[in-house]
Structures are given as C-alpha cells and as structure tokens.
Amino acid sequence: MRDLEEHLARLVAHDTTSRRSNLALIEDVEAHLDAHGVTHQRVPSADGTRAGLIARIGPAREGGVVLSAHTDCVPVEGQPWSRDPFTLHRDGQRLSGRGTTDMKGFVAAVLAAVPAMVSAELARPVLLALSYDEEVGTLGAPDLVAALLASQPRPSAVLVGEPTELRVVTAHKGVRVITTEVEGRDGHSSQPQHAANAVVAAARLAVAIDELARVHREAAVDSRFDPPYTTFNLAMIEGGQAINIVPRTCTLRWEYRPVPADDSEAILEQVRRIADQQVVPALTADTGAGGVRFRVEAVARALAADDGPAEQLARLISGDTRPAGTVPFGTDGGHFQAAGLSTVVWGPGSIAQAHQPDEWIAASQLEACAAGLDRLIDHLRH
C-alpha cells in the first residue's frame, strides 16, 4: 500500500485541471517508466501544452491489454475544501485530494504495478494509454487512440479505469456539447420590421430542441440507464444589448447525452435541419439578413456492450459475477470502441466522490485494484 500512496501523492500534487498543462505529470510518469526500462512515446496536443502518453511493457505482439486513464481533473475553485486539494491526505481508509477517485487512483495502481509487469516476462503486452482533457469532452482521446494503433501491435482488450467501484461496466451514454450562434440584423425597437431578431430565433430553436427532448423521453429506448433515454440540456442563452435595440446576435449553448442505440451525429443533423427549414426562414423573412451557425465544442462517444474479450478479461481479473453495469458519465472508452477495440470500464473508487470538495478514494479500493492488476499480470504471462 505504501507504493500506491506514494504514487498517488505525486499524481495529486500536479494541478492538472482540464485545459491546463499536464506535462509535469507526464514527465513524472516518464521518469518512473525510464527507471524500469519501459519504452514510451508522447502524443502532444496541437499547441504543445499538453500530451498523452503511450507505453508498452512486454513483447511487440498482438493480443495485449490497454490500461486507459485520463490525467486531467476538474477545478477546485468555488468548492469548500477543508484542506489543500493538491496534497494527499489520509484519514483512516480515506485518501483525499483532487483526482484521487477520478482517476489518478487507477493511474497510481498501474504505476505501482510496473516493476511486477517488467519482471513477469509477459507473453502478451500491457499498453498504458494516458490522455488529457477528458473532462472537457475527451479531447485528447482521438489522437491517442490513433497513435496507439499506428505504433503498437493491435490489442485485444481495453480497460478504462474510471471509478466503477471495480464493477465491470460495459456501456455508457455519449456527450455532445454544442454552441449555436445566431446572427440577425439590429435596429431600433420601434422599427422591428427593418431588423432580424436573433434572440427570437434562438428561442425558436431552443423550443424545438426541447420538443426533441420530449420525443426522446417518451421513446425511453434503454432501460439500463437512468434515465432510459437520450437527454438534452439547454444550458446557456445570451444575447441583446439594450431594451430599445433589436438584438443582432444571440448564443445558445446546449448538450445532449445519447444512449448507445441513438445516432449522435443524426441528432445534430436533425437540429440543423430544423434551423435551416424553420428558424432561418422566419429570421430572414423581413430583411433577408441572418443565419445560424453550429460549433461542436466537445464529443464523448457512447460505449455499447459488446460481450467481447474486454468484459471476459475484466471479470477474470476482478472476480465480478454481477450483471454488466452501466454508468451515466462519459469516458474515453467510446473512442477505443469506435476504433474496433473491445472495451469496458473498470476501476477503483466511486463516482459519488468525484468532482466533490474533499474528493476521496478508499484505500481498500486501491488495494483491490492492485490485486486485480496482479491477476492481469499472471494472465498475460500465459
């Protein structure tokens, strides 16, 4: 347990809040891998301020296992922490600090297992895949997955170590975050016939999205989830300058979380058609001016159960015989599955402690995860 805590303390000490650099943490991990002779490669972000990391322990042979984790965490600002969030504290079984459960605890367990992996003379490899900016839309995962498949023999299974209390989870919803910008024509409020009101257009679109949400709610297509349907959230609307000016611009921010059975791209295209066929004609009717633009800010792919090698492996190393679970949050796992890799979510800690002040993980969960990784090592020897 001592090695686990030491690794977790080093990881927590790095403030890797999303959209901040994670390079200091990556350097720490690289130094640990270098000390054990493990080869690795970075997958940098476009601006070079962040990076993913790929490492292989074992032979360059197909059929290995990917251990996937993100290195970023959510902010602490505005939360009533009782102690420094970037210093690991132990209180009985509780190890507290930002990111302990989501998901630096899993990374710590993997790093602690590296010496055993190296000395095991594995027949099939372990592939470590660390991403960045997962919390703001799995932004680092697509390049990471592409780089892994381009540089390594094809693995047979992916274990994403998000907090599931070590239950085998085979499905989760996706997430898509959209910014919609409406531009009309401003004018004096006494002469609205010479203007194009962007707030009205945005409101029309918002009502249409809310109606689409009702349709999905009534369909209730997947009882494994709570709620059992694709959800929509109209989160922010901003527009206008003064009470006597017809507003020229308005911005609507919204998201939807599709169940695996719903086509995420088709949902967005449906909203685009509503804008093109209903909202824009009304906006431009008097002046001919106006338009609507959509910008996808973040995408987390849904994960669908595949009853494949990843689930079988996770059950083998965990001993979990319960029915496969689902989680309401998104992960990097959907990107691995979209690339044709069998993927499940399995990791220590509870999502109930994630994103909270005084976030914590139970030491017993870390120990149980470490035991599962020991069984994985033994499995890959043969």
The residues assigned a catalytic role are 72, 134
From CA 240, how far away is CA 135, in angstroms rounded? Answer: 31
State how far the Cα of 258 lies from the Cα of 280, in Å rounded to an integer.
26
In Å, what is the CA distance from 274 to each residue of 201, 215, 233, 352?
A: 11, 15, 17, 38
Please say whether the beta carbons of 344 and 162 come within 8 A. no
Cα–Cα nearest to 108, from 128, 133, 83, 94:
128
Sign of the alpha-carbon torsion through 346, 351, 357, 358? negative
Going by the DSSP 8-state scheme, the letter that residue 165 receives in this structure is: T
Q: What is the DSSP letter of 60?
A: S
Measured distance between the N- and C-terminal CA atoms of the chain, rounded to whole angstroms: 27
* Three-class SS state of 146: helix
* Number of other CB atoms surrounding residue 328 within 10 Å: 12
DSSP label at residue 97: S
The angle formed by the CA atoms of residues 32, 37 and 43, to the nearest 5 degrees, is 65
What would the two tokens of residue 90 be?
């132990």
Cβ(133)–Cβ(19) below 8 Å: yes
Which of 289, 185, 180 lies closest to 247, judged by CA?
185
Other beta carbons within 10 angstroms of residue 272's beta carbon come to 13
Residue with tokens 């709610």, as numbered in its chain:
217
Measured between alpha carbons, how far is 31 from 25 in angstroms, rounded to an integer?
10
For residues 347 and 163, is the Cβ–Cβ distance under 8 A?
A: yes
